[in-house]
């Protein structure tokens, strides 16, 4: 954990140094072209695009670091090594060091800083964008890496198949349990479904059965919750359709049950939606 935190700090510092180097090169180029500081400051909108590109490069570097940390040592013996990780993270500073040696003899401070910043910029681009992906590709082409990768993918596939089979078995068990539960409910709820159907049929003639229907709903809710209420409702509506088709034009049962448990008056909601 301490080593990983140290790598993060070094990587953040090197990326910040790379960003400063790129910014210095940009400002120096604009000044060299005869632009004033006022013009440079006024380019804040365009500078936002440049900052976005630099942040994208930083995020790419972080992504590469995360991918590298997830690599297996057998498939990537070089890029997972400690020395390569250190080399990868301090590459901007190595470029700065190379630029420092290359700037020996330069008397003007602005040109001296320019050489240093250019060295950091090129070293970072060379290591993060070219060398690191190329090294990872070469490692993947090694016979031992390819063999281990095939074995790892085959093992992953087997584990996924086992997980899929386990999910299917669990789903089958749940479905079987639900079917048995529905069958048990069907036998126990049949008298109540017939009573609800009779209440709904009498409602057409003006007789109220809301209180008795509510008691039946509470019983169904206590027996099996919302699913049990839905099954009882379906059974009662089916009996209504068989006995009296006109009595099912309005779903009185849903109106009576509205607010019991988690039941919602779907007939009322549909009417409101149409309005």
Least confident of 59-68, 125-134, 196-205, 230-239: 59-68
Q: What is the pLDDT of residue 159?
A: 92
- Residue 201 and residue 251 share a domain: yes
Helix (H, G, I), strand (E, B) or coil at 263: coil
Highest mean pLDDT among 59-68, 150-159, 265-274: 150-159
Q: What is the pLDDT of residue 21?
A: 81
Q: Any idea which residue has 């290359």 for tokens? A: 102
Nearest to residue 182, comparing CAs of 236, 224, 222?
A: 224
Domain count, the chain: 2
Confidence of residue 183 (pLDDT cuts 50, 70, 90): confident
Confidence of residue 246 (pLDDT cuts 50, 70, 90): low
- Residue 34 and residue 131 share a domain: yes
Boundaries of domain holding 30:
2-141
Mean pLDDT, rounded, of the chain: 75
- Residue 103 and residue 221 share a domain: no
- Residue 203 and residue 93 share a domain: no
Q: Is residue 218 part of a domain?
A: yes
- Residue 124 and residue 11 share a domain: yes
The answer to whether 223 and 180 have CB atoms below 8 angstroms apart is no
For residue range 130-145, what is the model confidence (pLDDT) as tens digits? 888 888 888 888 888 8
Q: What is the pLDDT of residue 109?
A: 79
Q: Is residue 155 part of a domain?
A: no
- Give this prediction's pTM: 0.46
What whole-number percentage of the chain has pLDDT above 90? 5
- Residue 126 and residue 181 share a domain: no
Helix (H, G, I), strand (E, B) or coil at 107: coil
For residue range 232-244, what is the model confidence (pLDDT) as tens digits? 888 888 888 877 6
Non-local CB neighbours of 123 within 8 Å, separated by 6+ positions: 91, 92, 94, 95, 96, 98
Q: What is the pLDDT of residue 197?
A: 83
């Amino acid at each position: 954990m301490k080593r990983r935190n140290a790598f993060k700090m070094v990587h953040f510092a090197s990326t910040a140094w790379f960003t400063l180097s790129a910014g210095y090169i940009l400002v120096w180029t604009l000044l060299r072209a005869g632009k004033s500081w006022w013009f440079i400051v006024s380019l804040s909108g365009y500078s936002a695009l440049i900052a976005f590109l630099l942040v994208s490069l930083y995020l790419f570097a972080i992504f590469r670091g995360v991918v590298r940390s997830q690599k297996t040592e057998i498939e990537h013996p070089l890029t997972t090594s400690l020395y390569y990780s250190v080399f990868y993270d301090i590459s901007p500073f190595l470029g700065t060091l190379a630029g420092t040696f290359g700037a020996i003899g330069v008397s003007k401070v602005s040109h001296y800083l320019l050489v240093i910043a250019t060295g950091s910029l090129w070293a970072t681009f060379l290591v993060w964008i070219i060398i690191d992906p190329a090294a990872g590709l070469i490692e993947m082409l090694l016979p031992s890496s390819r063999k281990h990768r095939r074995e790892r993918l085959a093992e992953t596939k087997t584990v996924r198949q086992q997980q899929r089979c386990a999910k299917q078995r669990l789903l089958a068990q749940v479905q079987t349990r639900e079917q048995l539960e529905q069958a048990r409910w069907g036998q126990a709820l049949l008298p109540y479904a017939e009573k609800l159907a009779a209440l709904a049929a009498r409602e057409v003639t003006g007789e109220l059965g809301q209180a008795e229907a509510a008691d039946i709903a509470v019983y169904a809710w206590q027996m099996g919750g919302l699913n049990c209420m839905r099954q009882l409702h379906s059974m009662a509506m089916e009996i209504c359709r068989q006995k009296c088709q006109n009595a099912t034009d309005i779903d009185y049962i849903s109106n009576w049950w509205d607010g019991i448990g988690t039941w919602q008056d779907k007939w009322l909601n549909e009417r409101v939606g149409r309005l």
